């Protein structure tokens, strides 16, 4: 559902399954040669490791473990909500794949650094922050939750300050992909200033269309020129206080 400040979704991770997706990935790779980070999820660490292995075999350059989906029972969040469980999950996947491994973290914890540390200790190469935030909207006329699932994942501009804070807290632990509410070059610059080494864009594609990538890239390039900085020099610069 679209809201003035983002999206509330309860998609439930719809996908054609890893076998069909691997076929699609191979086909896509034969047409366009761009780096691909494939997201792997599942109900148990063994299942996630199996999916990750299939995706790596199909040509993914890196795997991102979805350890943080807030609205799918037994997939995602339960496997990655405590440092202990996350460590076991990441170690299982690490043993199954050789390609770089990222771990997507939930913001719904009082200590995201502890989750980040556990993921890195288990062999992750980097972290993605953040996934959506568990949320709810109630229709006051119908007097019931708008989503039949009751809860959904909130994304988009509403969660950007949470994502920036999470990136800031995690950046000392490893490479971080800053994701959450990025819609403009300013938002992307904010992520980089917080310490992100790359920026992820989700909801803005839905709200603004695919042109958002070029707009952000062009704006960021102009900003860097004006400031006389390289992108490397920008990364983490907002942490010097």
- Binding residues for ligand FMN, rule: CB under 6 A, are 7, 9, 11, 13, 39, 66, 69, 104, 131-132, 155-156, 159, 179-182, 201-204
Q: Quick one: 11 or 198, whose CB is closer to ligand FMN?
A: 11
Q: Quick one: 99 or 143, whose CB is closer to ligand FMN?
A: 99
Q: Quick one: 15 or 233, whose CB is closer to ligand FMN?
A: 15
Say which of 49, 54, 58, 69 is annotated catalytic.
69
Q: Min. distance of Cβ 121 from ligand FMN in angstroms? A: 21
Q: What are the tokens at 184? A: 């403009």
Q: What are the tokens at 148? A: 């039949």
User: Residue 56 burial (CB < 10 Å; 0-12/13-18/19+)?
Assistant: buried
Q: What are the tokens at 238? A: 């907002």
Residue 146 CB contacts under 8 Å (≥ 6 apart), including other chains: 1, 8, 137, 138, 139
CB of 102 within 8 A of CB of 66? no
Q: Min. distance of Cβ 104 from ligand FMN in angstroms? A: 5
Q: Quick one: 151 or 233, whose CB is closer to ligand FMN?
A: 151
Give residue number: closest CB to ligand FMN: 202
User: Catalytic site residue 69?
Assistant: yes
For residue 14, report the phi and psi dihedrals to the nearest 5 degrees: -70, 135
Q: Min. distance of Cβ 176 from ligand FMN in angstroms? A: 13
Q: Give the count of beta carbons closer than 10 Å to the beta carbon of residue 215.
A: 15
Q: Which residues are designated catalytic?
A: 69
């Amino acid at each position: 559902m679209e809201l003035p400040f983002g999206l509330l979704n309860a998609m439930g991770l719809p996908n054609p399954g890893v076998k069909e997706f691997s076929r699609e990935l191979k086909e896509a790779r034969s047409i366009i040669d761009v780096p691909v980070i494939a997201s792997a999820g599942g109900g148990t660490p063994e299942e996630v490791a199996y999916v990750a292995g299939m995706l790596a075999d199909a040509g993914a350059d890196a795997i991102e473990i979805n350890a943080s989906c807030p609205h799918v029972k037994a997939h995602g969040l339960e496997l990655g909500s405590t440092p202990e469980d996350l460590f076991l999950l990441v170690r299982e996947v690490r043993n199954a794949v050789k390609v770089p491994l990222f771990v997507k973290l939930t913001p719904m914890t009082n200590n995201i650094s502890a989750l980040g540390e556990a993921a890195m200790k288990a062999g992750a190469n980097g972290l993605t922050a953040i996934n959506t935030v568990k949320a709810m909207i109630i229709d006051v006329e119908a007097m019931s939750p708008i989503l039949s699932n009751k809860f959904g994942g909130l994304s988009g501009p509403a969660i950007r300050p949470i994502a920036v804070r999470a990136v800031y807290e995690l950046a000392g632990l490893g490479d971080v992909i800053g994701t959450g509410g990025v819609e403009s070059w300013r938002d992307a610059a904010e992520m980089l200033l917080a310490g992100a080494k790359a920026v992820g864009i989700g909801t803005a594609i839905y709200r603004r269309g695919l042109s958002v990538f070029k707009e952000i890239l062009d704006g960021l390039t102009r900003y860097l020129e004006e400031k006389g900085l390289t992108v490397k020099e920008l990364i983490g610069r907002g942490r010097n206080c």
